[in-house]
Amino acid sequence: MSHVFSRALGRALPVVDRAEGALIWDTQGRRYIDGSGGAIVVGIGHGRTEVAEAVAGQAGRVAYAHGTAFTSEPLEQYASELAPLLPMDDARVYPVSGGSEAVETALKLARAYHLARGEGSRTVVIGRRSSYHGNTLGALDASGREPLRRPYEPWLGRAVHVSPAYEYRCPFPGHPVGCGRVLADQLDEAITNAGPDTVACFIAEPVSGATLGAAVPSDDYWPAIREVCDRHGVLLIADEVMTGFGRTGAWFGCDQWEVRPDILTAGKGTSSGYWPLGLAVCSGDVYETVASSGFTHGFTYSHSVVGAAAGLSVLEILRRENLVEASRTKGERLRKELTAAVGDHPHVGDIRGLGLMVGVELVSDRGSKRALPRSDALTERVLAAAKERGLLLYSSTGFVDGVDGDLIMFGPPFVISDEQIDEAVAVTAEAVAAALP
């Protein structure tokens, strides 16, 4: 009997042995293509001894020094190398242990900013339906992912939610023209309804990730959202936990539309899985304002010196090997190959994404775009069929109406080879055919 409280209750899991590049092996010697970099985490690829050595070297020198007692050379260097890459002026970096902690930090920062400005009435967080910002309670409340919220709903309910940018199921008559403006008008209305002097921030993923599977907004969306936030003095938080560090083929998802958020969160690709590292980042303007009156916050493991060493080493590899550009070109190839292989399948509704963040939405028929009943467990069957054939994928369910909705997601390491992409696509076609004969 295992004493591990498993993440996969009721499912026996293989035992992982080793990994390299875009491949993982289990202790039975089975090889898998890591088609999703775990949970869309691994950008630089597995098995980078350079990062392992940076982590070990730093842990050997000093593993822990409290963030209120010391700063460190790796942390100072990491923040100063990262700052010019971030889509904001004079960025300040607050390192934490993962995406949910980064989002909690960002929400508190927004509140601290308004308090410092004497606008204590600004408490309301506006998020989007079908979004995901993390599983801690503040981040979950900002999230609009119903299946994850449902059991904890009695503890939630302070955040307000507006429509996501979900082009495949866009309900607006003018679509695809002007969807961004209509969605921004909805945000405007939500702010007005809540009372403009009560709204602290709007949080959204630049490209919807874990719930809507790489749903890319129309080009007019982000500029219109930025304008609405500015008009109401509402801080814009870009949750780049999935999209950051090259995943969409640009350093940050915001770069795709040249939008400049006030606060940005990162995680996942920040350390590519080599260390639990998330970041909450704010503009110099937000920092100066908050610093004037203080920020009541912090975690035991924030500002980790080893985390900074890991992040720095990952950043160096991303730059040296041009991996952000690789994410862009390989993502184009992956979408093209997927479209050729399964694009005409009667149950494949949409293939979408940017860079190596790609989603395939499965439907009961393409004309009506109707979702399959959740009881069919289609996503689970496709994932199992792919895994049986040596391909690991990510997924989302329940996003169409809170219950139904099936999609599979690709987010492999940026070092995946063309041959591995072709193999992953071929296996996907087989898995879809096996699950949907």
Contacts to ligand PLP by CB under 6 A: 39, 98-100, 103, 132-134, 205, 209-210, 239, 241-242, 267
In terms of CB distance, is 34 or 205 closer to ligand PLP? 205
- Adjacent-strand bridge partners of 125: 201
Smallest distance, Å, CB 263 to ligand PLP?
13
In terms of CB distance, is 236 or 241 closer to ligand PLP? 241
Smallest distance, Å, CB 372 to ligand PLP?
24
By DSSP bridging, strand 199-204 and strand 235-239 are parallel
Which value, to the nearest 10 degrees, does the dihedral of the CA atoms of residues 49, 304, 314, 282 take?
170
First to last CA, the chain: 37
Smallest distance, Å, CB 100 to ligand PLP?
3
Provide long-range contacts, Cβ within 8 A and 24+ apart, for 142-148: 142/103, 142/107, 142/203, 143/211, 144/211, 145/210, 145/211, 145/398, 145/399, 146/398, 146/402, 146/403, 147/397, 147/398, 147/402, 147/403
Nearest to 42 by CA among 261, 252, 274, 217: 274
In terms of CB distance, is 256 or 420 closer to ligand PLP? 256
In terms of CB distance, is 110 or 342 closer to ligand PLP? 110
Residue nearest to ligand PLP (CB): 99
DSSP string of 140-164?
Answer: HHH---HHHHGGGGGG---SEEE--
For residue 346, is the peptide bond before it cis, meaning its omega torsion is within 30 degrees of 0? no
In terms of CB distance, is 279 or 286 closer to ligand PLP? 279
Smallest distance, Å, CB 71 to ligand PLP?
24
Smallest distance, Å, CB 87 to ligand PLP?
16
In terms of CB distance, is 100 or 283 closer to ligand PLP? 100
Residue 88 tokens, joined: 């904001």
Q: How many CA atoms are closer than 13 Å to the CA of 88, on its beta-carbon side? A: 24
Provide long-range contacts, Cβ within 8 A and 24+ apart, for 373-376: 373/404, 374/398, 374/403, 374/404, 374/405
In terms of CB distance, is 348 or 407 closer to ligand PLP? 407
- Residue matched to tokens 């939610």: 161
Smallest distance, Å, CB 314 to ligand PLP?
15
In terms of CB distance, is 278 or 427 closer to ligand PLP? 278
Q: Please state, as a whole number, how many other Cβ atoms lie within 10 Å of the Cβ of residue 234.
A: 25
Smallest distance, Å, CB 274 to ligand PLP?
14
Smallest distance, Å, CB 141 to ligand PLP?
13
Smallest distance, Å, CB 97 to ligand PLP?
8
Q: Please state, as a whole number, how many other Cβ atoms lie within 10 Å of the Cβ of residue 315.
A: 20
Smallest distance, Å, CB 268 to ligand PLP?
6
Check residue 279 and report its DSSP letter.
E
- Residue matched to tokens 């998802």: 253
In terms of CB distance, is 104 or 337 closer to ligand PLP? 104
Q: Under 8 Å CB-to-CB from 148, ≥6 apart: which residues?
A: 132, 135, 140
Smallest distance, Å, CB 177 to ligand PLP?
28
In terms of CB distance, is 412 or 423 closer to ligand PLP? 412
Distance (Å, rounded) from C-alpha 235 to C-alpha 111? Answer: 9
In terms of CB distance, is 45 or 253 closer to ligand PLP? 253
Distance (Å, rounded) from C-alpha 67 to C-alpha 61? Answer: 17
Distance (Å, rounded) from C-alpha 100 to C-alpha 106? Answer: 10
- Adjacent-strand bridge partners of 264: 238, 281
